[in-house]
Amino acid sequence: MGVNSTLVKFHNLSIFLFCALASLSSGQTLREAADGAGVLIGAAVRPSQFGEKQYASILAREFNSVEPEDAMKWRVLRRNRRNYDFRAGDQVVRFARAHRMKIRGHCLVWGRDNPDWLMEGHFTTPQLSRLLHDHISRVMKHYANQVFAWDVVNEALDENGNLRDSIWLNQPGIGFAADATAYIAQVFRWAHKADPHALLFYNEAEGEALNRKSDAIYAVVKDLKKRGVPIDGVGLQMHISSDIDVESVMPAIAANIARLSALGVQVHITELDVSVPVDSRGVARPADLEKQADLYRAVVRACLQNPACTAIQTWGFTDKYSWIRSHSRGTRGAALLFDRDFEPKRSYHALLSELLAGRVPKSFSPLQRSE
Ligand code: 9MR
């Protein structure tokens, strides 16, 4: 190992120790720091884990907001056509209320993860339209006054920024296949009617920086605003990898948040995780965990810089439970703030110190509709 790389490692280690000590001596949790900064810090949760003591206590201590990772999806709520099964979603609501946390709802309209009876039911357009309208109304009314913001539509665009074929758009769709975003406009209107107080979000993947996809998201939101559609925000998922170059990507993310906020919508970072390469035992290299911490820090900074970026949510919080390992067939993982033994990682300390650094005061309440 050369002298330079030893020096770099020593430098990085000192920064880590400094941040860790600073956050320990501040004695503050993410939740307290986020309350101070006026931003929501959330995590996607699995209610089946609430009985696990460490899981529940860290979640309640460190976060002021939760979102069910799967419990409010069609697959879970609509196991069969006749009944709505709110049990898992209600568990999330009970946990959040007991610990005074906000709840984001996810998600009402998505082409994926729908039950077989729906996907294979050969429904006609009028039948599908009725089914979706009924779903949005029932679910939003059930969770009215509990869920403050909903991902109404999730991932309607493909990687090139074109509308994805889906049961809701054109297979056979709910009746608007000829007019690009009209089906999105329709479901936002239904959602607003069902719960006029809820904040309504369009949630999307891979559109965080400046690229074809984020251009398309921008164009869709601009168009919806022009049509007077009640949309309050854009969810930028932020599933990113430690391989990306923090220096070049972060200015683009900040610029993207800025252009969206100029349209008059809020931005939530909805599904943040930073995956790193792992070995067969799921262990990551320290250097990658350092890069990961830098990326967490930079994402939080990009959000806090803009008063319209009002929530930062990670997709889970412990490496014990994350979608990444199975998704990457075991090659990546360790993407979250706490390790598999619930110990806070460098990324935790990076995020905490960034939240403690504070933010510009907001000009509106992030929890209410601004009309
Ligand atoms: O993490 C979620 C996993 O448990 C589910 O099996 C999967 C399919 O419903 O969805 C995962 O979450 C996705 C989220 O709902 C939308 N954005 C991408 C997320 C990761 O795939």
Nearest-5° angle of CA 330, CA 336, CA 340?
A: 70
Q: Which one has a higher pLDDT value, 267 or 366?
A: 267
**Is residue 347 within 8 Å of residue 314, measured between CB atoms?**
no
Kindly state the tokens that stand for 210. Answer: 């400046």
Atom of ligand 1 nearest to the CA of 106: 15
Round to whole Å and give the CA distance between 177 and 166.
10
**Is residue 229 within 8 Å of residue 189, measured between CB atoms?**
yes
For 284-304, b where at least 16 C-beta lie within 10 A, e where not — what string? beeebbbbbbbbbbbbbbbbb
* pLDDT tier, 363 (very low <50, low <70, confident <90, very high otherwise): low
Kindly state the tokens that stand for 135. Answer: 């779903």
For residue 3, pLDDT beyond 60: no
- The contacts of residue 352 (CB under 8 Å, 6+ apart) are 19, 23, 26, 28, 29, 30, 33
For residue 2, pLDDT beyond 50: no
Q: Long-range contact list for 82-90, CB < 8 A, 24+ apart?
A: 84/138, 84/139, 84/142, 86/142, 88/47, 88/48, 89/142, 89/143
Rounded to the nearest angstrom, the distance between the alpha carbon of 303 and the centre of ligand 1 is 23
**pLDDT, tens digit (0-9, with 9 covering 90-100), for 144-160:** 999 999 999 999 999 99
Task: Give the SS3 label for residue 198.
Answer: coil
Q: Is 74 in the pocket of ligand 1 (CB under 6 A)?
A: no
For residue 16, pLDDT beyond 60: no
Q: Is 110 in the pocket of ligand 1 (CB under 6 A)?
A: no
For residue 143, pLDDT beyond 80: yes
Atom of ligand 1 nearest to the CA of 322: 1
Q: Is 69 in the pocket of ligand 1 (CB under 6 A)?
A: yes
- Give the chain's end-to-end CA distance (angstroms, integer): 60
Rounded to the nearest angstrom, the distance between the alpha carbon of 166 and the centre of ligand 1 is 17
Q: Is 275 in the pocket of ligand 1 (CB under 6 A)?
A: no
Round to whole Å and give the CA distance between 230 and 265.
10
**Is residue 323 within 8 Å of residue 315, measured between CB atoms?**
yes
Concerning whether 271 is annotated as a catalytic residue, the answer is: yes
Round to whole Å and give the CA distance between 158 and 205.
9
**pLDDT, tens digit (0-9, with 9 covering 90-100), for 27-62:** 799 999 999 999 999 999 999 999 999 999 999 999
Residue 305 has a pLDDT of 94
Least confident of 217-221, 246-250, 331-335: 246-250
Q: Is 313 in the pocket of ligand 1 (CB under 6 A)?
A: no
Question: Is it true that the peptide bond before 172 is cis, omega within 30 degrees of 0?
Answer: yes
pLDDT averaged over every residue in the chain:
92
Choose one of 45, 69, 155, 241 to mutate for the ligand 1 pocket test, by most ligand atoms within 8 angstroms of C-beta: 69
Choose one of 315, 317, 326, 332 to mutate for the ligand 1 pocket test, by most ligand atoms within 8 angstroms of C-beta: 315
* pLDDT tier, 6 (very low <50, low <70, confident <90, very high otherwise): very low
Residue 213 has a pLDDT of 98
**pLDDT, tens digit (0-9, with 9 covering 90-100), for 255-293:** 999 999 999 999 999 999 999 999 999 999 999 999 999
For residue 209, pLDDT beyond 90: yes
Choose one of 49, 240, 323, 325 to mutate for the ligand 1 pocket test, by most ligand atoms within 8 angstroms of C-beta: 323
Atom of ligand 1 nearest to the CA of 327: 21
Concerning whether 247 is annotated as a catalytic residue, the answer is: no
Task: Give the SS3 label for residue 255.
Answer: helix
For residue 362, pLDDT beyond 90: no
- Catalytic, out of 32, 62, 69, 155: 155
Rounded to the nearest angstrom, the distance between the alpha carbon of 70 and the centre of ligand 1 is 7
**Is residue 127 within 8 Å of residue 134, measured between CB atoms?**
no
Residue 179 has a pLDDT of 85
Neighbours of 283 (CB within 10 A): 11
**pTM of the complete model:** 0.93
Return the residue whose CA atom lies nearest to atom 20 of ligand 1.
323
Q: Domain extents for the chain?
A: 22-356
Round to whole Å and give the CA distance between 315 and 274.
10
Whose structure tokens read 């001596």? 25
At the topology level, CATH places domain 22-356 in TIM Barrel (3.20.20)
> Residue type for 162, please?
N
Kindly state the tokens that stand for 66. Answer: 């939760």
